[in-house]
Amino acid sequence: MLEINNLSVNYGGIQALQDVSLTVNEGEVVTLIGANGAGKTTTLRTISRLVSPRSGQILYNGKNITSLRPDQVVQAGIAHSPEGRRVLARQTVLDNLELGAFLRSDRWGIKADIEKQFQIFPRLGERRDQLAGTLSGGEQQMLAIARAVMSRPKLLLLDEPSLGLAPQIVREIFKTIVELNKSGVTILLVEQNATLALQNANRGYVMESGIITIEGQASDLLIDERVRQAYLG
């Protein structure tokens, strides 16, 4: 479904990614783990075309999307739930969800999908007319994921969904991620909680200083001594 070939990205004079190659097959949950500043977020932002690569190629369902605009990437079937949630604080929960469907014109389908998100995240339904900036961190994360799903993506990019959240909320978020995957959404997950990420993924990649250093089945990475020492405590 997604194939990244020799992707390199520079920020000014700093090389953020160097010849990164990875694949995400349809139906998988693939996780990208690594320390802060390793290049994980840059990878997702480059896929969604918020960042332009210096070289390399991004293929989605066999089509080269390296030069598309961000809205064209969404239209192609890729949605991005960013690090830090980035909800529209001065807009309501409902407004945020409607924004997630900005490329759609099926009014009744959008309405049905909003109600579906309220079933998945009942707290959002209770707060549908509340300003997003007044939600708790966990509720904002739920909203960020629900907003991304409103575009009906085939591939969902999730950046640090557990960051700063209480353990109970993290469990709820990951339960939802698993359910989304079972419903047919393929997921590329960036997550600092490496244990949790690998426990819920099919495959994983380890990134260090903008380079993929280890890759394999998630179950194998969980017991890999290099990964255990560096990321699993």
pLDDT tens digits, one per residue of 113-133: 999 999 989 989 999 999 999
Whether the per-residue pLDDT at 233 is higher than 80: the answer is no
pLDDT digits (tens, 9 = 90+) for 42-83: 999 999 999 999 999 999 999 999 999 999 999 999 999 988
| Model pTM score | 0.92
Can you give the residue ranges of every domain in the chain? 2-87+154-231
Question: How far apart, in whole angstroms, are the C-alpha atoms of residue 188 and residue 190?
Answer: 7
Q: Would you identify the CATH topology of the domain 2-87+154-231?
A: Rossmann fold (3.40.50)
- Coil vs helix vs strand at 216: strand
φ and ψ at 61, to 5 degrees? 50, 40
